[in-house]
Amino acid sequence: MSDIGLINWKRTSFPGSYKLFSRLNLDFPISTKENYYIGNLALISEVRQGIFLSAGNTWDDFSELEFTDFKYEGGLELRLSGNTLGGLFPFDLTFGYAYHGQDTGRPFVSFSLSI
């Protein structure tokens, strides 16, 4: 394991040829009809909040498949969706807090831009 950055997040890897993963989301729209303009840079068209629970594991060989040692996480998130540069590029920005079963909870930020 190695430390990443100044806040001592630990990087863990779960290598394997076989993967089983599942995620359950429950989303609540905060605002879907109003548009929020951020200067001339972006238009936020949807704001959602939600809770999630996910679990999964990887195995090197199919014969090692067992369901007793799953890695899991759960948490809360706030997702902003919109467009930037005159509507050319849709984006999603997510702020959240996740609790991993292997350690304490941590905040996270996710950004995706479709080109």
pLDDT at 21 over 60: yes
Distance CA 73, CA 66 (A): 19
Q: What is the pLDDT of residues 29-81, one digit of tens each?
A: 887 677 777 777 888 888 899 999 998 888 887 777 777 778 888 999 999 98
What pTM, to 2 d.p., does this model score? Answer: 0.66
Distance CA 54, CA 72 (A): 6
For residue 101, name the pLDDT band (cuts at 50, 70, 90).
confident
pLDDT on residue 110: 92
